[in-house]
Amino acid sequence: MARQARHRLSRRVTLLLAPSAAFAALLGFAAAPAHAAAWSSSDRWGSYETSDGYTLYNNIWGEGAGSQTIEANSASDWWVHADHPATGGIKSYPNAKKVVGKRIGELTSLDSSYQVDVPEAGAYNTSYDIWDSDHDYEVMLWVNQHGAVGPIGTPQGTVTLGGHTWQVYKGDNGANQVFSFVRTSDSAQGTVNILPVLRWLKDDKHWWGDETIGDVQFGYEITSSPGGLDFTTSRFGVTSR
């Protein structure tokens, strides 16, 4: 996992200073950021639609949450500063999403790539959250995690799908079925072939039918981040056909 530093140009002081700027820095004046984010929100339900069909959400949905700000230039360039107390229970799931709108049987491919910079403190997971169009079923793909967090449900064994090996959990959150796939080794970047996971649930386990896939979300399910921690997405995209 990467360190807490955000590694964003918009948050980085310019290193190559002109003589006058260097003198100003000595006097205590900060250099201006290289560029500002296209969108920023600290609202609980703040959202932003990109020109290429993605939506970003601040999504502070849990009880006992603290403060959280999301900033974004695109679905593949966004970051979050979250300061949630060191208590149990998920506080938020800031994320970017793409709507697929096709049945599993209609899809010939469904892939996604990601790259993140996550802290070595707090309690959270970095995960895909995939929904059918009716929100009866939820499929979570955890690519990394830290602290006292765990998926809903009971263990169902280990399976290798979509280029990764996962521990599988099956459960119910009171509103919908939840199928969680937790990577057996953490990863801060990679590509996931999602369609074999969905077909395995349908054809091998018969846990759902030929569902229409709605949202493919990717973000950070944050339980605690006391003192303020940074989560950065530097690559995310979904392709389907």
Convert the pLDDT of each residue in 143-153 to its tens digit.
999 999 999 99
Mean pLDDT of the chain: 89
Domains in the chain: boundaries: 40-240
In whole angstroms, what is the distance from residue 152 CA to residue 131 CA? Answer: 16
Alpha helices in the chain (DSSP H): 19-26, 195-199
* 203-227 mean pLDDT: 98
CATH superfamily of 40-240: Glycoside hydrolase family 11/12, catalytic domain (2.60.120.180)
216 beta partners: 98, 130
pLDDT tier, 4 (very low <50, low <70, confident <90, very high otherwise): very low
Residue 33 has pLDDT above 50, yes or no: no
Tell me what pLDDT residue 35 has.
52
User: What end-to-end distance do the CA atoms of the chain give, in Å?
Assistant: 32
